[in-house]
Structure 1
Amino acid sequence: MSLSPAFLDELRARITLSGVIGRTVRLTRAGREFKACCPFHNEKSPSFTVNDEKGFYHCFGCGAHGDAIRWMTDQRGLAFMDAVKELAAEAGLDVPAPDPRAARAAERRDTLHDVMAAAQAWYRDCLASPEGDAARAYLATRGFDAHTVSRFGFGYAPEGRQALKAALSRFPEAMLVEAGLRIAVDDREPYDRFRGRLMLPIEDARGRVIAFGGRILAKDKTDAPKYLNSPDTPLFDKGRTLYNLHRAAPAARQSGRLIVVEGYMDVIALAAAGITECVAPLGTALTETQIELLWRQVETPILCFDGDAAGQRAAMRAVTRALPLLRPAHSLRIVRLPEGLDPDDLLKARGATALEKLLGEAKSLVDMLWEAERDAAPLVTPEDKAGLKARLLAHVEAIAQPDIASLYRRELLDRYSAFAFPRRENGQGRWQGENRWQGKGSPARPAPPNRENIGRLRRASQGGARDALSAAILAGLARWPGEIARHAEALARTPGLDPRFSVLLDCHDATDALESESLSTILARHGLERLEAAEYSGLRFGFLNPDAAPEQAVSDLAQAIELLVERPALEAALAEATTRFERELSDDAFAEQQRLLKRKLEFDSRLRQMATRQAVLPQ
């Protein structure tokens, strides 16, 4: 019987691995994981870990590794189908009935594995033969020793168009074509795909050969691609495969990092230098599926692409694909290599120590976004600078996770403000008394506020619209009760909110839905004032309009809640800066206070724009 990968993935997703293992092994929580003494070998200190998020267990002592199904077969001794049936019953899933077509497809895949294994053995033999001289000479120029050549399975594909067919004559022609080893053209005889190339096997997560990559050796074939990979086949999907993952994953679990480079030759060069936790995509930009594969190994993999323009564009494409997928604690870091160098070049020129130093200085994803967009075009005119802000905010809009989107918006706008509105001083002057700035060659500038102006600054920092904003959002959540669950966590963490929010969140915990008309009764039952429209009459949010289009209304409500959540931290920081300036009357204190005051004014401007936006009505 053959089970589809989709069914097995759903089964694993519905099972809590620590719950399954915890029935027979005593687990102790250790941060985001569980630890225990390994049940597969005798040990006194725990080296066995269980990670529910990634769905696997691993022992750093004996190397035992697997998912819930593997646990049931290896530890409980069940047959594969018995393990699946027991877990499916626990998860409330029905095991699919036998599918003859799926069984035939699985049979074909097994046979294709045989074809690929035979091709790999033949390529390796050809490398060791006299016709592999050029390939062996090229490997020597790369500095790969015999151990590296053997470990990564290098081979050689001879020049002949029918050489592989003759060597693998026991397999039907159709099979060789389906495996991607031969090319069939309508009116011509099929021919070998790989000819005159250094060959490298591409393996799946179990270490089985599923495809090949070939590097051309003849320098006179300028019309042929330098690197050629197998096409997609029943075994191989290049967008779902990471080269060397089966070797890099165990090393990544030991080191806590996983490095992504552009090509398989970079992977091998780093491995030869002792950096073994490296993978590479296969001729395409990093895909969403590959990013998820990386996150199953470590929370923050490192992208280490080439230092040329193409390499940096590839890194930026990976960043933009990752933005919608971001979730708490999961991100990317990016290494910017010296211009014109790839990892292999850097290793040869400066050694592994230089590369390790760069890896240790990898930039965060938000740093990469800011620097890439800041440097993307000249920023001379106000229009140029406005374009930078628009590009930054477009990236923020791509982030689906609301808390992360809010934090990115705040961080990028802070950087933009500091860049677009720099302090205009040369740093050589000093404050004279309370009202005059005096400095060598410095232009005149407004005096900082003195103690008589502190009251005005405090009033500016207190946010007069907060009560009205809270009331409007309460009314909005009552009108759209399905949005309470989406924002409950962010609201619960926000200090100083109107106590009526607590009641609203409690109501959500108690029931699946909240009737808008019942909010006043619920508030009165808790001894709180009912919500009156007069409290927010000055704010005309789109989500308060009963005729607004639902999609636009809930989007406006989410943005208003983002402002409400952001405001307490901003106000607290501004009040603290004002107090510091009142106490010190120093240049630094004044600059910090002014920076935060400007952020407060920008915040109020965003609020005014939202509160006067016309609701979009359904068509």
Structure 2
Amino acid sequence: MSLTPAFLDELRARTLLSGLIARTVKLQRAGREFRACCPFHNEKTPSFYVNDDKGFYHCFGCSAHGDAIRWMTDQRGLPFIDAVKELAQAAGMEMPEQDRRSAEKAQRAKGLHEAMEDAARWFSERLHGIEGAEARALLKKRGVSDEVARAFGMGFAPDSRGKLKEALKGYGDPMLVEAGLLIGVENKEPYDRFRGRLMIPIRDVRGRTIAFGGRIIGDGEPKYLNSPETPLFDKGRTLYNLDRAQAAARKTGRIIAVEGYMDVIALAQAGFHEVVAPLGTAMTEHQLERLWRASDTAILCFDGDSAGQRAAIRASVKALASIEPGRRLSIVGLPEGLDPDELIYDRGPHEFDNLLRSAQPLADFLWSQEVGAEPLDTPEARAGLRKRLRELVQSIVHRDTREEYSAEFRRRLDALFALPSREVRRPRSGKFHPNWSNAEAPPSTVARRLKASGLNPVLMRELCGALILYPTAISSNIERLTELIDHSREGQILEALLDGALSYPRLDKPTVETILATAGLKAAAEKLVRADGMAYAYIRRHRDHQGAGNDIREAISALAAQPALNRAIEEATAILKERPSDDAFARQVALVRQRQELETHLGNLKVADDENLDE
């Protein structure tokens, strides 16, 4: 299928945007346009405008902007191709022809969708008829109103092996088996999969029934039974109630994930409509992505038992891989032994709302889990904690986020194993210190972001060598040193040294040698401390410790300053080329002058130290 620009333009031209949006948003005429309170964020004064002549909507509050197709993907949550198909059908346009295999697959899917909708309708009729008395009693016991049961399309499957099969016989047994409604057994007649169960339709983002969940009426196993995987239903990519929760999530600014569909239904009745659930499996990466597509703020709220706790931990670890700026994940801890359904029933909606307000951010949750995993009263246990945290951080794909998590966990480790000697001192007066207020360049956060490509490799090697020779300088500079860790061999050595500083009250050369040997870095470290070829005098063995410590501090400041200063110069140069002005030129000149001063300072340090050695 090929969607040409001409086809999409014609589709937009045939779609009355105000009519499309007015299906779910109350619009008011405002001259040649329409206005409303924005459906993408909470507001009391209308700032959302729809212009039919230009064919776009725009919100002056949150900057939401788009055309008819964008409305269907962003507000309705449809995949692009599904949005185009729905608009084309409404506009009376034929979609471009598919290849034969795709057309056959689409026709097959259409038949399955129709079978599932008919099954949902049949189950619903059984629930509200004579056969559904026991199922209605269960709903009443669980506090589910008739209105909510109808809104979620709930139904009842009679305890029979063939009633559904007979009701839908027009589709044929093979299609009903493929849809997961019948169970096919070799050399036997297929029979109804769901029997004697409260039925809950599972829908896709377009609100079409694609599967069912069934809860047993009375005693029996399994308590819950879901449809098998089918051409319509992929458990790992589906979230229950996402079709209803998306719109609510845009209004509340959050999406909540719980363990089961009965939790979703109970919370919806209590006024929490932005709730979804996985379907009998652990939360997958695909499901986490669906959460963040619905809202930048996702909250995991699993049961208060040990199984729920393990599920929260697994989901949190998976979420790390795709966490990035703008995405937030928090975890709610329920009282032990309670699930959301029971909490609402026993303690009321206000208690659940209080728990949501106290949700733990992802970093806090992971930190508390790892710190509480075992007593930290031995060096081995503390090393294990550092290793676990390091492995968690390494799973984060987004570089800036990974570095921020690494820095955050290091700060917490520093505070957890606080040492009196680990105070960060200011550089000596009269020595170089980056004048960030004049340069308007960002501080250490940007330095960390740029270190992979901006660190001076020679200075980095010699700094690591100096720290091996003068380990007492590590604790007094630990905060700035944390910013310099990268993926190079020197970065690994530096990370091992900082880990050691968090475990040992006093670092000396034998301790440092043990730390590096344990980390498998002994040979690499020995190369760094050889005097031959070293450019800066502070690395040479016959300097006094106080002088070496001062020079090391100077080198750390310079090393951290260089990448950010280089980036500031690149940005100033780009601005000067794009928008030449006196101010832009002056800023570039000032930044270049600062870099020259930094390089001169480093050169002077080398010369001065060489002269002292010659005396």
Q: TM-score, normalised by structure 1?
A: 0.62
Q: Specify whether residues 562 and 211 from structure 1 end up closer, same or farther in structure 2 by C-alpha distance, changes over 3 A only.
A: farther
CA contact (8 A) 2:48 2:58 kept: no
In structure 2, the partner of 1:494 is 447
Shift of 1:372: 1.1
Cα distance change of structure 1 residues 539 and 357 upon mapping to structure 2, 3 Å threshold: closer
- Equivalences for 1:336-355 in 2 at 5 Å? 336-355=333-352
Contact 2:299–2:330 (Cα < 8 Å) also in 1 = yes
Compute the displacement of 1:233 (Å): 0.4
Letter of the aligned partner of 2:71 in structure 1?
Y
Give the structure 2 partner of residue 300 of structure 1: 297
8 A contact 2:298–2:329 mirrored in 1: yes
5 Å-filtered alignment, 1:97-108, equals 98-108=98-108
Tell me by how many angstroms 1:355 deviates: 0.7
Residue 164 of structure 1 deviates from its aligned partner by: 1.1
Mark the CA change 1:42 to 1:490 in structure 2 (over 3 Å): closer, same or farther: closer
Give the structure 1 partner of residue 487 of structure 2: 556
Mark the CA change 1:150 to 1:2 in structure 2 (over 3 Å): closer, same or farther.
Answer: farther
DSSP 3-state at the match of 1:304: strand
> What is the distance in 2 between the residues matched to 1:356 and 1:599?
48
1:500-515 residue pairs with structure 2 within 5 A?
none
Indicate yes or no: 2:213 matched with 1:196: no
Counterpart-to-counterpart distance in 2, 1:112 and 1:296: 27
Match of residue 50, structure 1, among 41, 64, 74: 64
Residue in 1 aligned with 2:393?
396
Structure with the larger RCO, 1 or 2 (CA within 8 Å, 6+ apart)? 2
1:51 is displaced (CA, Å) by: 6.2
Counterpart position of 1:228: 225
Helix, strand or coil at the partner of 2:190: strand
2:292 pairs with 1:361: no
Quote the offset at 1:380 in angstroms.
Answer: 3.6
Deviation for aligned residue 1:340: 0.8
Task: Check conservation: 1:403, 1:490, Cα contact below 8 A.
Answer: no
2:382 is matched with which residue? 385
CA contact (8 A) 2:78 2:205 kept: no
AA matched with 2:212: F
- Between the aligned partners of 2:491 and 2:34, the Cα distance in structure 1 is 47
Name the SS of the counterpart of 2:222 in structure 1.
Answer: coil
Q: Which residue of 2 aligns with 1:405?
A: 402
Q: Distance in 1 between matches of 2:118 and 2:239?
A: 22
Matched to 1:366, the amino acid is A
Work out the CA distance in 2 between the residues paired with 1:319 and 1:378.
22
Post-superposition offset of 1:420: 3.7
Q: Which residue of 2 aligns with 1:112?
A: 112
C-alpha change, 1:269 and 1:357, in structure 2 (3 Å) is same
Note closer, same or farther for the CA distance 1:309–1:109 as it changes in structure 2 (3 Å cut).
same
User: Relative to structure 1, is the Cα distance of residues 121 and 396 closer, same or farther in structure 2, using a 3 angstrom cutoff?
Assistant: same
Deviation of 1:319 after TM superposition, in Å, equals 0.7
Name the structure 1 match of 2:274.
277
Match of 2:137 in 1: 137
1:286 aligned to 2:283? yes
**CA offset at residue 384 of structure 1?**
2.1
The residue number in structure 2 matching 1:433 is none
User: Displacement of 1:48 after TM fit?
Assistant: 9.0
Show the counterpart of 1:17.
none
Name the structure 1 match of 2:564.
none
Q: What one-letter code is carried by the residue in structure 2 that aligns with 1:57?
A: W
Aligned-pair CA distance for 1:73? 8.2
Offset at 1:114? 0.9
Matching of residues 240-251 of structure 1 within 5 Å: 240-251=237-248
Say if 1:47 and 1:205 are closer, same or farther in 2 by CA, change over 3 A. Answer: farther
Structure 2 unmatched runs, 5+: 9-31, 42-46, 435-441, 467-484, 526-615
Q: Which residue of 49, 52, 62 corresponds with 1:37?
A: 49
Secondary structure of residue in 2 paired with 1:556: coil
Please give the alpha-carbon distance, in whole angstroms, between the structure 2 residues aligned to 1:496 and 1:142: 52
Unaligned runs of 5+ in 1: 9-23, 86-96, 424-447, 468-488, 505-530, 542-553, 565-569, 571-593
Structure 1 counterpart SS, 2:297: coil
| Cα distance in structure 2, aligned partners of 1:42 and 1:405 | 38
**Alpha-carbon offset, residue 129 of structure 1:** 2.1
What residue number does 1:545 align with? none
- Counterparts of residues 476-487 of structure 1 (less than 5 Å): none
Cα distance change on mapping 1:119 and 1:416 into 2, 3 Å: same
Q: Which amino acid aligns with 2:178?
A: E
Cross-structure match for 1:511: none
Task: Measure how far apart 1:349 and its partner are.
Answer: 1.9
Q: Tell me, in whole angstroms, the C-alpha distance in 1 between the residues paired with 2:271 and 2:182.
A: 36
Residues of 1 paired with 2:409 and 2:351: CA distance?
30
Question: Residues 112-135 of structure 1, C-alpha deviation per residue, up to 9 Å, x if partnerless?
Answer: 011101111111111122221110
Greater CA drift, 38-47 or 400-409: 38-47
2:244 aligned counterpart, secondary structure: helix
CA gap of 1:59–1:163, structure 2 versus 1, over 3 A, is: closer
Q: Deviations over 1:514-549 (max 9, x none)?
A: xxxxxxxxxxxxxxxxx99699567689xxxxxxxx
Q: Is the 8 A contact 1:540 1:612 kept in 2?
A: no
Deviation at 1:189, TM superposition (A): 2.5
Question: 1:173-198 deviations in whole A, cap 9, x for unaligned?
Answer: 00110000111122332221100000
Q: Deviations over 1:60-108 (max 9, x none)?
A: 9xx78877775898599976667xx8xxxxxxxxxxx832111101100
Alignment CA distance shift 1:215-1:534 (3 Å): closer
1:311 aligns with 2:308: yes
Cα 1:135–1:289 change in 2 (3 A) is same
SS of the equivalent of 1:243 reads coil
Between the two proteins, the alignment pairs up a number of residues equal to 450
| Structure 2 letter corresponding to 1:38 | V
Q: Name the aligned partner's letter for residue 132 of structure 1.
A: G
265-274 or 41-50, which deviates more: 41-50
- Equivalent AA in structure 2 for residue 50 of structure 1: A
Structure 2 length as normaliser, TM-score?
0.62
CA distance 1:244–1:613, shift in 2 (3 Å):
farther
Q: Deviations over 1:261-295 (max 9, x none)?
A: 11110000000001111011111111111111111
Cα shift readout 1:329-353 (whole Å, capped 9, x = no counterpart):
2131111111111111111222111
Alpha-carbon displacement from aligned partner over 1:294-331 (angstroms, at most 9, x marks no partner): 11111121111111111111111111111111111213
Letter in 2 for 1:337: L
Q: Say which SS state the counterpart of residue 293 (structure 1) adopts.
A: helix
For the 8 Å contact 1:366–1:408, the answer to whether it is kept is yes
CA 1:337/1:64 → structure 2, altered by over 3 Å: closer, same or farther? closer
In 2, the alpha carbon distance for the partners of 1:203 and 1:328 equals 31
What residue number does 1:121 align with?
121
Distance 1:118 1:354, change over 3 A: same
Tell me the equivalent position of 1:148: 148
Q: Tell me the distance in 2 between the aligned counterparts of 1:320 and 1:563.
A: 26
Distance in 2 (alpha carbons) for counterparts of 1:461 and 1:563: 27
Q: Are the counterparts in 2 of residues 332 and 365 from structure 1 also a CA contact under 8 Å? A: yes
CA drift of 1:363 comes to 0.7
Provide the secondary structure at the position in 1 that maps to 2:300. strand
Q: Within 2, Cα distance between the matches of 1:107 and 1:44?
A: 37
The sequence identity of aligned pairs, in percent, is 43
In 1, Cα distance between equivalents of 2:291 and 2:266? 20
- The CA deviation string for residues 545-572 of structure 1, in whole angstroms up to 9 with x for no partner, is xxxxxxxxx98339849989xxxxx9xx
Q: Distance in 1 between matches of 2:106 and 2:448?
A: 57
Contact kept? 2:324, 2:398, Cα under 8 Å: yes
C-alpha contact (below 8 Å) 1:285/1:314 kept by paired residues: yes
- The one-letter code matched in structure 1 to 2:416 is F
d(CA) in 2 for partners of 1:141 and 1:535? Answer: 69
Instruction: Quote the offset at 1:258 in angstroms.
Output: 0.8
- 2:50 and 2:143 map into 1 onto residues whose CA distance is 40
Are the counterparts in 1 of residues 302 and 333 from structure 2 also a CA contact under 8 Å?
yes
Change (3 A) 1:134 1:210: same
Q: CA RMSD in A?
A: 5.0
